[in-house]
Structure 1
Amino acid sequence: MGAARKLNVVSIQDKPAKVRVNLRAKPHRKIDMHQLPFVGRDHAQEESGGYCFWDVPFAGGFRGGLETGQAIAGMYLAHLRRVRHEKSYKLELGALIMGMMNRSPRNEEEHNSRKGQLMGFAGALDSWLRAAVDEFGEKLDTIDHEDLLAQANGGLDTKAADERFSRLLAKAGF
């Protein structure tokens, strides 16, 4: 038998990895959602190795975050308009929010930046939601608020919610 060899792994990079501070355009990505400047792996890494749907540096403080969040909302809304006739991931907004919430700010400035980004993003979407409700919201006038309250309270019971979800999956064939 041959003698065991010890291998040393050595980096051949002379330069440290470049850290991106800004968002960048990504027009060559295959999936529309992945082309958005705030989706990727430049500033955050998902544990699964996939793309982060809020790949935005937590920088600029609260006021800078407001501006960034508003701009990202505009990009997202333009994306929705652009892909409205295509099959797209129906939970994109949820993925964006989860991407933001799954990231942990490392200091007070990052914490304030994230708060500003969320407020700016939500504020910009709120304006569009209000316009949509005004234009297309007739059915909202007939919503039974007692049913919605019961549904909201039902979701607060983990065991019951898990059972309902399991039944839904079984019904769908999963």
Structure 2
Amino acid sequence: MKNKRLNAFTILEALIGLMLMGIIISTTYTLFNVMNKQLSLLSHENTQVLEYNLFNSTILGDIHKANDFYVLEDKLVLNNYDESTIRYAINKQHITRQSTIKIDTFNIPVTHYRFPYQKNNNDFLRITLNILGDKLETNYFLKKDNAQIINATYFNEN
């Protein structure tokens, strides 16, 4: 009788296979972990940029629609022709916008702000923001010329 040999892996071949599979799995896990961290960082950066863009477009629209402004208890108050008011309050971690309908909060770190100051007979609102670790200095022109005010008052033009 002949001895029949079964074809199988030796222990050494099985260990080498397990070791290669372990290397592949650990490399895949590491790459997945690094990509997850990068996506989380990108999401955070994207949120900050979108938050700034939303704030910037909102305040520019509010300033454009306003016919008058004043500072009340460290808040910027914008008056519209329809007798509605919009108030902006600035804190170190966020900016709050309060209208007659709702309250919005923009999560933007503020380094420094200066409510209306005069420069060349024009009023400006200066805000220094911290966006993505960089300081962004913004200036908002708050005074309208007389033609805009007359047109908006008498002819409903914006």
TM-score category of the 2 structures, normalised to the smaller one: under 0.3
Q: Using structure 2 for the length normalisation, give the TM-score.
A: 0.25
The structure in which a higher percent of residues are helix is 1
Answer with 1 or 2: which has the greater Rg.
2
Q: Using structure 1 for the length normalisation, give the TM-score.
A: 0.23
Q: Which has the higher contact order (CA 8 A, sep 6+)?
A: 1
